[in-house]
Amino acid sequence: MALITKDNIKKLDKDRNSVHSKVRATYTIFTSDGKKYFQIDTYGSPTREMKDKISQSIQVDKEMAKELIKLMMDTFDILD
């Protein structure tokens, strides 16, 4: 599981990139110590031995959500 915050994310330009295969994902919204979080869980591919086991969990707080929205809007030329 990983909590991503605005102060611990940086852009990295890679020489090689590829599109990953589609997997099932769910999201959860919860509050801890009075602070709201958005969590995305991804699950194993259909060929994985334990298909319903969570592979990765990523959590963001409100500040990081705002930053991700800004980055995605800029990346995909989405007008606000």
pLDDT of residue 25: 95
pLDDT in tens, 36-66: 999 999 998 777 777 788 999 999 999 999 9
Q: What is the CATH number of domain 23-80?
A: 2.30.31
- Alpha-carbon distance values, 25 to 6, 31, 45 (Å): 23, 20, 11
Number of residues assigned to the chain:
80
Write the burial class of residue 6 (CB in 10 Å: 0-12 exposed, 13-18 middle, 19+ buried).
middle
- What's the whole-model pTM score? 0.87
pLDDT reading at 5 higher than 90? yes
pLDDT reading at 2 higher than 80? yes
pLDDT of residue 80: 62
Could you tell me the residue ranges of all domains in the chain? 23-80
| 41 contacts 26 by C-beta, under 8 angstroms | yes
Mean pLDDT of 22-43: 96
